[in-house]
Structure 1
Amino acid sequence: MAEQRTPRSLIVTFYGTYGRGPGTGPLPVSALIRLLGAVGVDAPAVRSAVSRLKRRGFLVAEGGLYTLSESARVTLEDGDRRIYERPLLKDDGEWLLAVFSVPEQERGKRHLLRSRLARLGFGQASPGVWIAPSHVYEETRHTLVRLGLTSYVELFRGTHEGFTATADAVASWWDLDAVAAMHRVFLAGQEPVLRRWAAADAQPTPEEAYRDYLLAVDAWRQLPYADPGLPSSLLPEDWPGVRAAEVFAALHTRLRARGAEFVVPAP
């Protein structure tokens, strides 16, 4: 299985990694063409993706320059916590339950609620009952408040008391094989990159660091949402998520700051 990248995904990743930093205000399309060209996206594909992102409300145009919409900025800030600040997991047996009921005439909100719970890492225990490790409580509460969905949901914390063994129940709440496969795809693509720059005398140019870091983030950023962050006692012994997180953290440390020099060249 190969890593899937699209021009639209890479533009979103650019704004998430470098597009909100010092010196990166509203950008002309020509700047985005240069920055996306470094990761293999040609000019027509950049223009097309920018147009789609504008129609979707992710980007807004200001006198020929493009910047993030306020809703996109909030979404990316929320993503920072999930992508870069994974919490220390506690094997305390405590779970967070989201129990919801949405009237049939508001089925659009039901779909939104389900999709956001899934994106937060919840698994479905039964219809209308979703479950996640308790460490996602604050993020879940923040997301439901921001989306105006709190009137449809109640949140509970508690332990699993039976009747199926918790490890067996977890395997029915999440497709762990699919999540593990995603981690292995990430490792297949990014471990060689880390080996290349881990050598003592390896020093990437700003463009090389930018290219490899942007591609690493684009490959990584869906994983913290797909992976529920279960304690190790409930995961297979050969779980690849631990190594995937280590590789991403190492690439972040080695490449991010150096790559910023390509985004905003020194005067």
Structure 2
Amino acid sequence: MTAVDHAPLAGAVQPRQLIVTLYGLYARDDGGRLSVAALVRLLAGLGVEEAAVRSSISRLKRRGLLAPDRRDGSAGYVLTPAARQILDDGDARIFGRRRATAADGWVLVVFSVPESEREKRHALRSQLHRLGFGTAAPGVWIAPGHLADEVIDVLRRLGLDGYVQVFRGEHLAFEALSATVGEWWDLDGLRDLYAAFLDRHRPVRARWSRRRTPDGAAAFADYVRLVTDWRRLPYADPGLPPHLLPARWNGVRAAELFAELADLLAEPARVYARELIAGGDTATAGR
């Protein structure tokens, strides 16, 4: 969802990753603000201690994603405009990502950055990688054509458009793309990420299939972890057309599992979270 943390999950989730998810899911309808007390209460339901919550908030503040916002004696933090844009961009990836078709063609980004502006070169590469582009040749990046509008918008917004040319195209001849895409993207590594996601969340589905009565706290904890875990994958995955993917591509099963659990958990999780947020301005808020 963000430029904040796109590293694959391995082991315990970092509290700051959970905080980004909480803001994305529950803060934007309220002006992008959550009180510190509410965050402490929400994260307690995810097994995060108060000290870790406060430390993670400070890190997100230093990175320009949260800004202090005190109201009626309640300490809190509000999303910065940059953070809100990142979350808005991420919604389409996380909840509405579609896989490309052959008719979409390809988008090529060609760039040349002077040695004196190496930081711009690094920023370009980082953004293209984050958007799911693969490297076809030095200075030439490629992605399915349905990502063209997104990359143009992002590069323009970040002031990187002066270094690039963007082209649409189609594959005409020679080596089969089904062989070449494995050189442009690390599909084996992506398959491993999807396998890990399935291993972590299939037991969640099995547990909920046996549950007889709703449990808002459990739905909240499972849903926040689900979204936090998933939100990296739609960026790591370029969304290649199915005919270019390896047989029995597990990304399809992972996407189906995410959609199934999201449909099941989102509403009871939202109700529970709103209750915690509404009761969150307690004595912890002013500390």
- Say whether the 8 Å CA contact 2:195–2:250 is kept in structure 1: yes
**Amino acid across the alignment from 1:29:** V
Taking the aligned partners of 1:95 and 1:211, their CA distance within structure 2 comes to: 39
What does residue range 24-173 of structure 1 map to in structure 2 within 5 Å? 26-63=33-70, 64-92=75-103, 94-173=105-184
Q: Distance in 2 between matches of 1:209 and 1:107?
A: 46
| Partner SS, residue 29 of structure 2 | coil
Shift, 1:16, TM fit: 1.4
> What is the DSSP-based 3-state SS (H/G/I as helix, E as strand, rest coil) of the residue aligned with 2:83?
helix
Deviation of 1:117 (Å): 0.5
Q: 1:211 to 1:104 in 2, by over 3 A?
A: same
SS of the aligned residue for 1:66 comes to strand
Q: Give, in angstroms, the shift of residue 262 of structure 1.
A: 1.4
* Residue pair 1:184, 1:240 contacting (<8 A) in 2 also: yes
The alignment's TM-score, normalised by the length of structure 1, stands at 0.94
1:18 is aligned to 26
Gaps of at least 5 residues in structure 2 are 1-8, 280-287
Q: Is the 2:133–2:238 contact (alpha carbons within 8 Å) kept by the matching residues of 1?
A: yes
Percent identity at matched positions?
50
Secondary structure class of the residue paired with 1:92: helix
Contact 2:23 2:34 in 1 (8 A): no
* Whole-Å separation in 2 of the counterparts to 1:210 and 1:180: 28
Give the partner amino acid of 1:35.
L
Residue pair 1:89, 1:231 contacting (<8 A) in 2 also: yes
Q: Judging changes above 3 Å, is the alpha-carbon distance between structure 1 residues 25 and 130 closer, same or farther for their aligned structure 2 residues? A: closer
Q: TM-score, normalised by structure 2?
A: 0.87
For 2:26 and 2:247, locate their aligned partners in 1 and report how far apart those are by CA, in whole Å: 36
Question: Which of the pair has the greater relative contact order for Cα pairs under 8 Å at 6+ separation?
Answer: 2
Which runs of no fewer than 5 residues in structure 1 stay unpaired?
A: none
Instruction: Classify 1:77/1:203 alpha carbon distance in 2 versus 1 (closer, same or farther; 3 Å).
Output: farther
Question: Which amino acid is the alignment partner of residue 143 of structure 1?
Answer: V
- The corresponding residue for 1:232 is 242
SS for the counterpart of 1:18 is helix
Q: Which moved more, 1:98-107 or 1:154-163?
A: 154-163
